[in-house]
Structure 1
Amino acid sequence: MLQAIHDKAKGWIAYAIVGFICVPFALWGINSYFEGGSAQPAATINGEEIAARDVQFQLSQIRQQYGRLASSLGEDQLKQIALDNVINQTLLRQKVEGEGYRASGAEVFENLSRSFQTEGKFDREQYQRFLQSQRRNQGEFENQVREDLALRQFQGAISSTAFVPKAQAEFYQSLRKQTRDVEHFTLKVADFEGKAEISDEQVAMYYEQNKARFMTEQRVKLAYIEVNQEDLAKAVEVNDDILQQYYDENTDRYLTPESRNTSHVLIGMDSRTEEEAKALAQSLYDAIQSGERTFEDVAQKDSDDKVAAENKGVVADVVMGDWGPLFQNAVFALEANQVSEPVKTEAGYELLRVNSITQAVQKSFAEAKASLEDDYRQAKAADLYLDKTDQVQTVAYEQSGDLTPAAQAAGLEVKSTDWVSRGKGSGIAANPKVLESAFSEDVLSGGKNSEPLELSDTQAVVIRVTDQEAAKQKPVDEVKAEIITVLKA
């Protein structure tokens, strides 16, 4: 076909075809042929456009969360579910914004601090790794957190609010004022138990009809190697020289960092453009500097952080590393009682004031010694735990018919349990992971060592079955009393 066009498209016809193709290239570029023009919104809700990428992201979340169940649904049905979810989220957000609910910057960072912690402190590196792994922009993610917190406020306000319609209240009062005369007669089972006689034939018949109810459980005995970080910590050698060296290498752990009690006025950008927010913050700053208004007055009446506003703008004692970098860097650039010019932070434009500064305090070796030993033991035990778990895993896999070589390699002992059933055990066998592994095909029938089972962050075990007993029928004499009780009931 292309050859025929080539052969016949001569003269003015050829020029016309070329001109027809060139016009869209000149106006929109070659991408228009591949992208089909500007991206169309997936939906428009109250004038707000929903981007197709938002629906696509929701679709990927559904597939990831529901796995095979999602795969069983048709592609069109999945897309409709994703679109409905985004529409509902948008409507809720619009309602929340319309009602004036909003999470402050402090609340956002308090939420992030709880979610990304190391040793009880906000871990910014962990937070950044999370953003990178999820391919999320920091600003967009924190806006999403702010929206989620505001939605919780809205939901809490609804769930905490109750009212009773007048008709219902009147009906309730009418019931409360009712009186009723009641006669009753009580028959007690215990009064008749002595009179009921159950024959051996009845017992035998019930037993034959319900044999499956009177079976023993399949059970096993286990051998296991336990790697327990707490036990390893107790065995760590400690003396003053070792503790002194550990203190010298970790002085920052025994430092109480500088903190700055900080107040702020927040001008958010949820309902303003950046230029409007900056201009408003500047006008408030000028009013404070001229003496026309006090910082406290502005914080109470004009700040978008209503929680801090109730406390005259006081946010908290700010410690470096616990807050957003823009906010904390601005705070630590101020002198005591100095009001900053408008500064852009993660939450919007802010006026900041450092009310007081508490200097950093370094504990001496003597002052820190009470906690040094435990810190050192735990640090060494954590390393030992990883090493020994790795040794046990490797040898138990390579020599899967016996636990002794793995125990010897890690310097641990092989322990044992009493009989364990599928639904009941004691000690480590009370853990569901142990029970599931004990009755798995490889461990129960294959006679192999299990994979390491992590019972907690500091405890892992490898198990194997040393003895087993199949389920069997209980004799009728053993269950006779139980059957009689059932028949009398």
Structure 2
Amino acid sequence: MLQKMNEYIKGWVAGVIVALVGATFVMWGLSSYIGHSKGDDAVVAKVNGFKITEKMVKGQYSDLKKGYMQQVGLSTFPGELSDELKQYVIQDMITHHLLLQQAKDDGFAISSQQVQALLMQDPAYQVDGKFSMQRLRMAMYQKGASDLGQFMAQFQQKLLISQVSAGMKLSSFLLPKAFDHAYGLTHQVRQVGYFALPLSEFRSQVKVSQKEVKAYYKAHQQQYIAPMQVSFEYLVLDPKAISQSIHIPDQEVVQYYEDHKSNYSTPKRWKVTLVKVPVEDAKESEKVSADKLQQFLVGAKQSPKVDQIAEEIGLKLTSSWLLASNPYISANKLEAMQLGVFSSPVQTAKGLVVFRVDKVSAAIVQPLKEVHDKIHGLLTSQQLEQLMSRDTEKLSQLSYTDPNSLTSSSKALSLQIQTTEMMTKAGLQSGLFSDKNILQAAFGDEVIKQGYNSRPVALKSGAVVVLRRHQVEESHPLGLEAVSDQIKEQLVRKKIEEVAGIKAYDLQSAMKAGQTGQALGIKNHLVWKQVPALSRDAKSLPSALVSAVFATPLKGHQPVFNSVLVDNKTYYVFAINHWTNPLPGSADQSFVKSLKQDLMQNQVQATYAAYVQSLRDRSSIKLYPSALSDLK
């Protein structure tokens, strides 16, 4: 079953699911299938007493199933993978709650205010660089969260757990020898000789009869099926279209300008010279401080070298720009001061000071005509955000309560029902139905099999789409005449690969037996080529051949031999005769830095995996898989 599963799974879920499921089968034996109540409240697992219910599993199971189908381009989820995916989801949730419990026990925490700030800074929830509540709500709907509080709680848990791995990353280090070894392997060079056997040169050696074509067709008819084709009806809630209907009266622009004039003005400022008692002397009596300031004022009248006078008396002299609101002097006193004249000692929240106004910068208010368009755009964006949020909510409700038609949604929101051309699950070359998220919704069971409206799908442009199937042409078998040439070419290529593969094996075996490449080349009318120092990033040979050379295990200092088919066009038979692992020496520092980061990251991942396993080993985990038997 795991092998069958691996045939389907590609990309992001492959390694994770296959690795975990293998271990899970051992834990998930028949003895675990004990009777439990079914339904959303049925307990699927207990983690140190915490109950994981079927309802909690459903959301993640559904999200992973849809994501997997989108990744590999399937419109339906393979039934034989269902149990494996359920087991992966429950194991992932167990790990999540183990990590969450331990993080809390270890004193890690994050406040709701921090969560809110991080959400607002996340580009995924922004439009034109600004936070969008509509984007956040769409993400919430797609994640299956029932309300914003639940969505934020899930986000908070992920952030809390991530603090542990972040701590490991900050505390990790790399030993010098480990780096030298990794550098040597990365920059290893191998001395290689090889034969190239183009498949095209073997075509004349193979023949395929019509009888073979018919036999193959009969044995593989299920492979020759015309794919299902579907056309769709859809509605688009387009922010660009809605923005055209928004009218912002000049009166509102003026009112906003008046209410927020401080946003478009630079306040009046005073550049002052402050003379005060240093902080370290602040405990001395007020009378002593006043006497020092009076002494300074006397000296300032006699000499313009006020810096020197202040230093001799033990006072601190600073220069700064002050606004009307400042910790030293009221705006009234600043207004009343004559330029260039020191004041009498003034009692402030910072103690006694004397000051002098050296310069005044008048308040500058941008005129309305300079900021009119900016304010108009801001008000338009705010209103658009409100309208999109309102209409998205309405579209979601109407398309759900009337799942068999888009008519009610169309009428309520004045949106035109549009219809696509027929397409396979690969979608169209351009437009809405070339978008992966649209295609995932369009070819999901909810739309194709059940005939319901899709959930609202949010696009990068900010638009929201709801769709339903219009016409369906079911898949059907293709006759032999339609695929005869295709099958014949397929069988010819298969035979060519077999003949070329046998030739490659014979050459490889002969070299293992001690014959040289040069001698074999003369005997078989082939050219033996050599590369004295092949590196991993070499461009002189096909990348697949270079990868095969460096994927071939070395055996001490003995030559090793291998072969590989590259791009389904050429067999390469090669020998690795020698290799060297250089030391860093005067290596490029940018590469050294990058390699160290990669090694540290690998080390952190290994440490984190060991940490997770230790939590599982010492925790109480109970499984009740029969509760998930009805989950589809």
Relative to the length of structure 2, the TM-score reads 0.38
Q: Which has the higher contact order (CA 8 A, sep 6+)?
A: 2
